[in-house]
Amino acid sequence: MLAWEHRINHLGMSCFPRRSTLSDANSRRSEKVFGEIYEYLYNRYKHLLPDSRKKKTSKLFIADSTTISLFQEVMRNAGRKSVNGKRKGGVKVHTLMQSDEDVPCMIRFTPAASADTPFLRDIKLPEGSIMVFDKGYNDYKQLQRFSDEKVTWITRKRKGAVYRIFENRPVTEKQLEEGIQKDRIIVLGHQHHNEHPFVKARLIDFKDPESGKKFQFLTNNTRLAATTIASLYKKRWQIEILFKRIKQNYPLKYFLGDSENAIKIQIWCALIADLLIKIIKALAAKKWSFSNLASLIRIHLMTYINLFVFLKNPEKALRKRNDNKLSQGLLFDT
């Protein structure tokens, strides 16, 4: 912004704001405003987001969290203290995304040391939805709630989980070849924990035919094929790619303020920018990769040019712009 200070008038700014000014302002400004802006943009443009190649996953939701480490002890982080006895701060971004949209549809922030399970309490999905999440979300009450609301959930069994086997389902030769080793109906829960309900579930033992790695999947769905359950869980990698994209394309290692509020605002701004670029990518006449599109917008953010005309043919748009500047700005013929 300092390099383009002579062009920031169109943003309604008379001078370039200093870092200390931004830090002070963001410590007082509510981060909820930026959350509401993200939610408004998402609801307005979400019809443009679904990928036509992923129509079959329109009912699939993926939940997970990522931790953004901080250099100061602003929000309590997990793990051991450093050599000097100080523990760095960290913020955990709890995220729910719809598989065919590739952007978060629900976001919550907590200190990095907090557990993942409370996030499930805020999730309300329509009947018939499918939700995939990692084994860190171990809340039997919420799992039972999803079952009562007729929402399919798929996760992995935690080590040490207590359960009783009620039925061994048959496994065909074809399923064995595809990696399904066991398929059982169980009840999760321990008799010593009366406040936690017993949860009826299906336990699938799976061995990846290629890597040889073994997994144990838990679900409340007894109708889908065991191989389908395994393939649905594999789609959880989409949210890992989302986290990787945000961390690679937006400066979330360096923050303009050291208050909790300022940090949350900057994360919201990164999420808003990511959503806007996804919308632009969907509307552009020419197909662009996300990384190339983000780089072009970053370079030409202060260039006076129609973005969609530029994305259709960058060289032609820039040449036309330069020709117009020459025709208007010369005092003498050349």
Chunked into runs of 10 residues, the chain (334 residues) has average pLDDT values of 75 79 86 95 92 67 89 52 54 93 93 87 94 90 94 93 91 93 91 73 94 94 94 94 90 81 92 94 89 88 84 84 56 46
- Given this model, what pLDDT does residue 152 score? 97
Domain range annotation of the chain: 18-286, 300-334
- Report the pLDDT value the prediction gives residue 267, as an integer from 0 to 100: 93
CA atoms within 13 A on the CB side of 91: 23
The confidence score (pLDDT) of residue 9 equals 74
For tokens 């829960």, the residue is 189
Side-by-side strand order, sheet with 180-188: 104-111, 90-98, 60-69, 130-133, 152-156, 214-219, 199-207, 180-188, 163-168
Query: How would you classify the pairing of strands 152-156 and 130-133?
Result: parallel
What Å distances lie between residue 312 and 52, 294, 303, 320, CA to CA?
21, 15, 16, 13
d(CA 249, CA 252): 9
Q: For residue 281, what pLDDT is reported?
A: 92
Q: Compute CA distances 126 → 41, 60, 123, whole Å.
A: 21, 11, 10
Give the predicted TM-score (pTM) of the model: 0.84
Under 8 Å between Cβ of 135 and 155 = yes
pLDDT of residue 113: 81
Q: Output the pLDDT for position 330.
A: 44
What is the distance between the terminal CA atoms of the chain, rounded to a whole angstrom?
34
How many residues appear in the chain? 334
Cβ contact 202:143 at 8 Å = no
pLDDT in tens, 194-238: 666 789 999 999 999 989 999 999 999 999 999 999 999 999 999
Supply the pLDDT for residue 326.
46
